[in-house]
Amino acid sequence: MSYIIALDQGTTSSRAIIFDHQQTIVDVRQNETRQYFPHPGWVEQDPQDIWATTFGVLQETLAATGIDPKAIDALAITNQRETTIVWDKKTGKPVYNAIVWQCRRTADRCAELVQKGYKALFAEKTGLVIDAYFSATKLAWILDEVDPDRKRAKAGDLLFGTVDTWLLWKLTEGRVHATDYTNASRTMLFNIHDLCWDEEILSILNIPKAMLPEVHPSSYAFGEAHLGRNVMVPVAGMAGDQQAALFGQTCWSPGEAKNTYGTGCFLLMNIGQQPIISQKGLVTTIAAGVDERPTYALEGSIFVGGAVIQWLRDTLHILDEAADSDFFATKLDNNEGVYLVPAFVGLGAPYWDMYARGTMFGLTRGTGRAHMIRAALEAIAYQTHDVLEAMSAESPVDIKTLQVDGGAAGNDFLMQFQADVLNVPVIRPDVLETTALGAAMLAGLQVGLWKDLADLAGHRRINRRFTPTMSSEDRNKNITGWKEAVRRTLSDID
């Protein structure tokens, strides 16, 4: 037997998932990772905790299954994107906590860049909007704190990486400092046309190129991971979580799209080998691929997806388990005019309002727990609708179906409501761990476990297809109510 282990390092947990040749999950191990909130809108993690939990679940799954490490054909890495880590090359120690993608501390710096007229330049070169979400201003902020004159960074003594780069560096014991196209394209420093770090943007932000990693395709022989006892396993696949999911959902042709329902929601559509610079609040990113010629995707990033259910459970304590949300939502025939806009860290695509904050509308004396829970689930679907609406306006190809994955994709109420709001079928695969699967597929292609894309697609299995049932009248009424709630939430409201 041959196996691939995918290391899936997410925002709230680190997981190791073993896949066999049939793309069947053999074992899953998970450890939670802690987040820190030193100031309102700030989000941090300890890079050492990220590493310890990731390497820990890797060792746990090997111990639990008894699989001989020699039977592991390759490791794959998929990761929370944009999260920014800087460490000392000599000591291997981080110089500051990881600044998480959700962190808004550099919102004012981004606003300054826009005011100085850089919006079009950044969009054209990187495909991104100027926002605190991405890595660039996070990295500049850390350097301002620990190396204001940039002396150590210019000398190459400080290294930058997103989480994939940090894990690869640790797994290879400091021998490899690299990333892949997908993660590089999320930094707001990478030229997605020329496939290189952009010198002009680096100069604007005063970021020395010497601290940046090498960049390779997602399916690539990155280096050998040391698993102990002289066991070396190639790291052969690496991709940011959302691009990995797009690949894992076999969205390999233009017009094919997927949505991942995790902490946030991320809707990506394959647009082929010619990038489209969005005019509708979307971003253009590099999709995971198997060679040097990149494929591009339009992406709509929703900052708060499944996290709104965690908020109901952990902060408001009106849910005991996230899975209970399905039960409470179905106790009502409709939302009875209650809308929740979960702008806890601002609004992402297509609004990009860094200063919006969460709001709830339509409350009456009769509003209860079920209304709030249903409104939270519906908000996830409405936000996805807004992104898909913008995507459809810019793409020459209509989306016929939406592939879904991630933890919240297991919620039947949410998936049915999503199909109803979008008025397109929603397809849920048998394996919801599509992010990890996509990374494993990239690694497996590199080492020959699967011979080509057709071989990969032959193992795909569908769990359920959700078909729209809502009337057009109800759909329009619901969407109109949602859009009014969003309008009243935006920070620049009159």
Euclidean distance between the first and the last CA atom of the chain, given in angstroms as a whole number: 64
Which pLDDT belongs to residue 85? 98
The residue ranking higher by pLDDT, 69 or 8, is 8
For 16-32, how does the pLDDT look when each residue is reduced to its tens digit (9 = 90+)?
999 999 889 999 999 98
Q: What is the DSSP letter of 100?
A: P
What is the average per-residue pLDDT within 55-81?
A: 92
Find out whether 147 is annotated in a ligand binding site: no
CATH code for the domain in which residue 116 is found: 3.30.420.40
Closest CA to 97 of 38, 147, 57: 38
Q: How far is CA 220 from the centre of its chain?
A: 21
The residue ranking higher by pLDDT, 228 or 369, is 369
The residue ranking higher by pLDDT, 323 or 438, is 438
Confirm if 259 and 265 have CB atoms less than 8 A apart: yes
Which pLDDT belongs to residue 70? 83
Q: Could you give the CA distance from residue 77 to residue 80 in angstroms, rounded to a whole number?
A: 10
Find out whether 133 is annotated in a ligand binding site: yes
Find out whether 260 is annotated in a ligand binding site: no
Hey, what's the torsion of the CAs at 158, 162, 166, 167, to 10 degrees?
A: -170
Distant-in-sequence, close-in-space partners of 494: CB < 8 Å, separation ≥ 6: none
Which pLDDT belongs to residue 229? 74
Distant-in-sequence, close-in-space partners of 333: CB < 8 Å, separation ≥ 6: none
Find out whether 82 is annotated in a ligand binding site: yes
Per residue, what are the HEC states of 142-202? HHHHHCCCCHHHHCCCEEEECHHHHHHHHHCCCCCCEEEHHHHCCCCCEECCCCEECHHHH
pLDDT band, very low/low/confident/very high, at 201 (cuts 50, 70, 90)? very high
Q: The dihedral of CA 63, 67, 68, 69: what is its sign? A: negative
User: Residue 220 pLDDT > 90, yes or no?
Assistant: yes
Find out whether 339 is annotated in a ligand binding site: no
pLDDT band, very low/low/confident/very high, at 1 (cuts 50, 70, 90)? confident
How many domains, in total, are found in the chain?
A: 1
Single-letter amino acid code for the residue at 95: V
Say if 222 falls within a structural domain.
Answer: yes
Which pLDDT belongs to residue 417? 96
Half-sphere exposure of 198 (CA within 13 A, CB side): 23
Say if 8 falls within a structural domain.
Answer: yes
User: Residue 179 pLDDT > 80, yes or no?
Assistant: yes
- Mean pLDDT, the chain, whole residue set: 92
Find out whether 395 is annotated in a ligand binding site: no
Question: Could you give phi then psi for residue 194, rounded to 5 degrees?
Answer: -90, -10
Residue found by looking up tokens 């620049």 in the block? 492
User: Residue 494 pLDDT > 70, yes or no?
Assistant: no
Question: Could you give phi then psi for residue 191, rounded to 5 degrees?
Answer: -80, 110
Residue found by looking up tokens 């179906």 in the block? 401
Find out whether 335 is annotated in a ligand binding site: no
What is the average per-residue pLDDT within 176-194?
A: 97
Single-letter amino acid code for the residue at 437: L
Which pLDDT belongs to residue 290? 83
Burial class (CB in 10 A: 0-12, 13-18, 19+), 171: buried
Find out whether 278 is annotated in a ligand binding site: no
What is the average per-residue pLDDT within 442-450?
A: 93
Percent of the chain with pLDDT over 70: 100
Q: Could you give the CA distance from residue 299 to residue 163 in angstroms, rounded to a whole number?
A: 20
Bridge partners for 7 per DSSP? 16, 77
Residue-wise DSSP of 230-267: T-EEEEEEEEEHHHHHHHHTT--STT-EEEEESSSEEE
- Specify the range with the lowest mean pLDDT, choosing from 159-168, 178-187, 271-280: 271-280
For 322-356, how does the pLDDT look when each residue is reduced to its tens digit (9 = 90+)?
888 888 888 888 888 999 999 998 888 888 887 89
CA distances from 214 to 53, 74, 169, 287 (A): 25, 20, 12, 18
Which pLDDT belongs to residue 348? 84
- Specify the range with the lowest mean pLDDT, choosing from 77-91, 166-180, 302-316, 436-450: 302-316
For 288-306, how does the pLDDT look when each residue is reduced to its tens digit (9 = 90+)?
988 778 999 999 888 898 8
Say if 115 falls within a structural domain.
Answer: yes
Say if 23 falls within a structural domain.
Answer: yes
Q: Could you give the CA distance from residue 446 to residue 274 in angstroms, rounded to a whole number?
A: 25
Which pLDDT belongs to residue 493? 59
Distant-in-sequence, close-in-space partners of 233: CB < 8 Å, separation ≥ 6: 5, 69, 72, 74, 75, 224, 225, 227
Q: Could you give the CA distance from residue 211 to residue 321 in angstroms, rounded to a whole number?
A: 43
Tokens in use for 69? Answer: 């490490």
Q: Are strands 283-287 and 402-405 parallel, antiparallel or unpaired?
A: unpaired
Find out whether 310 is annotated in a ligand binding site: yes
- Specify the range with the lowest mean pLDDT, choosing from 11-20, 101-110, 396-405: 396-405
Find out whether 389 is annotated in a ligand binding site: no
Single-letter amino acid code for the residue at 50: I
Find out whether 11 is annotated in a ligand binding site: yes
Confirm if 355 and 491 have CB atoms less than 8 A apart: yes
Say if 475 falls within a structural domain.
Answer: no
Say if 341 falls within a structural domain.
Answer: no
Query: Domain limits at 78?
Result: 3-241
What is the average per-residue pLDDT within 386-413?
A: 86
Bridge partners for 3 per DSSP? 20, 72
Say if 323 falls within a structural domain.
Answer: no
Which pLDDT belongs to residue 128? 93
> Using omega within 30 degrees of 0 as the cis cutoff, is the peptide bond preceding 350 cis?
yes
Find out whether 411 is annotated in a ligand binding site: yes
Say if 294 falls within a structural domain.
Answer: no
Closest CA to 429 of 415, 443, 448, 414: 415
Tokens in use for 355? Answer: 């200063």
- Specify the range with the lowest mean pLDDT, choosing from 125-139, 148-162, 199-213, 422-436: 422-436
Which pLDDT belongs to residue 405? 87
